[in-house]
Structure 1
Amino acid sequence: MPQRDFVSKLHKKTTRNYLERVCEHDKIECGTIAKQYGKDYWDGDRRYGYGGYRYDGRWEVVAQDMIDHYGLKPGMSILDIGCGKAHLLYEFKKLIPDLNVCGVDISEWGLQDAKEEVREFLTLAPAQDLPFDDNQFDLVYSLATFHNFKIMDLQKAIQELNRVAKNPAQSYIMLESYRNEAERVNMMYWQLTCESFYSVDEWEWVYKHFGYVGDYSFIFFE
């Protein structure tokens, strides 16, 4: 269960005003609206989430790194749990047209407004009850999703990930976390949807306790 970082280079490109999110807006209202995962979360005011999720091609480098690391080839299958608007799946499909891609999310708005090229491969479904067969996918991954689950749902989501993977070690989870007090406070200020608010060592304990054996990484609010 090694750490493998594919995403932090994108995360670090964004400038964030942590105090503004707390001091200039009603954080309770913002979090309540964000957790509906609707239009406001994806394409509304920045206080509610992404603030307009306009794609600029940034996920191509992540897709290529994952293709190289996991040895993805035409005819293989991948699953994105919490795919949102499916920008990463779009890049996988662009780089390997014969790759079988699937994505699930609980956001109707996100799926309806996903990249048109991969929209047909997306399904409205929760991570805790995936509509797929056992051992179906060559690679299963989830980015910035599992920290949105309470502990009992987190356990179910990890069990489902393991179930649908041909090899549970061939999987990847990226989450928000913290390593020190400054990052903990910044994360507390910035996050809108987080339910499992854990440090790196706590996440590593959770993974071991729930039987996750794949790769993992974190993004930090420095």
Structure 2
Amino acid sequence: MGRLRSFFTPLHQRTSRDYLARMTDDKVGCMRVAKRYDADYWDGDRRFGYGGYRYDGRWAPVARAMIEAYGLTAASRVLDVGCGKAHLLHELRALLPGLTVCGLDVSAHALAGAPASVRADLRPHRAQDPLPFDDGQFDLALSLGCLHNLRLFELEAALAGIERVGRRKFVMVESYRDEQELFNLQCWALTCQAFFDTAEWVWLFERFGYTGDYEFIYFT
């Protein structure tokens, strides 16, 4: 299997979270709204998701780190499974003009709100459905903050697709290392289906034949 990375963790740690307030604020109702992945989730009230997913340049350091780690050039091809509003793809292309990118996401609202620089390269698609690409078609196939929203059998299918189409692979998922982080994750997560600690994730990656890199984010 690949390496444990830390591309996204510094960005994740910049946000403060009131875990108990979310848990006691009609959590079940908010989960039902969030799992529609529509305007409420992306740009509605914070209790339903992001609370306004507007771009402020924060993905640029992530893009630079990935370019360096994976040796990407303007001739490379990058796939983002669960791309959301595709801000990472936007930054990758800004740094590497001419880069071929493709973004997939279940949310029509997110895709419509993506930067104009990459909007034509995005398409609606569920991560767990077969990917319509050739084996090894992409130099890097990645998925950030998406796969933990799948059920176990869907997760296996999604990882198999990423493994098949990417020469290099990277996924980032939510996880926990102790009881406090598990509690915080359970309080905060609105869409998560896969609550696994780090050892369980690594076991699943190996069990499902995933050989790429990975990162865990924690709710401390």
TM-score interval (norm. to shorter): over 0.9
Contact 2:163/2:212 (<8 A) preserved: no
Q: TM-score, normalised by structure 1?
A: 0.97
| Offset from partner CA, 1:127-178 (integer Å, 9 cap, x none) | 122222222100001000000000000000011111111x2xx110101000
Whole-Å Cα distance in 2 between the matches of residues 191 and 143 of structure 1?
Answer: 15
What is the match of residue 103 of structure 1? 103
Which is further off, 123-132 or 39-48?
123-132
> Could you list the runs of 5+ residues in structure 1 that have no partner in the other structure?
none
What is the match of residue 52 of structure 1? 52
Secondary structure of the equivalent of 1:193?
Answer: coil
Figure out how many residues of one structure are paired with residues of the other and give that number: 218
> Could you list the runs of 5+ residues in structure 2 that have no partner in the other structure?
none
User: Please, what is the CA RMSD of the aligned residues?
Assistant: 0.7
| Deviation >2 Å, runs of 4+ | none
Contact 2:169/2:212 (<8 A) preserved: yes
Q: TM-score, normalised by structure 2?
A: 0.98
Whole-Å Cα distance in 1 between the matches of residues 26 and 127 of structure 2?
Answer: 29
What is the match of residue 88 of structure 2? 88
1:81 positional shift:
0.5
Whole-Å Cα distance in 2 between the matches of residues 37 and 115 of structure 1?
Answer: 18
1:59 positional shift:
0.3
Whole-Å Cα distance in 1 between the matches of residues 74 and 3 of structure 2?
Answer: 26
Whole-Å Cα distance in 1 between the matches of residues 40 and 153 of structure 2?
Answer: 27
What is the match of residue 19 of structure 1? 20
Whole-Å Cα distance in 2 between the matches of residues 122 and 113 of structure 1?
Answer: 11
1:116 positional shift:
1.4
What is the match of residue 209 of structure 1? 207
Contact 1:140/1:172 (<8 A) preserved: yes
Whole-Å Cα distance in 2 between the matches of residues 113 and 7 of structure 1?
Answer: 22
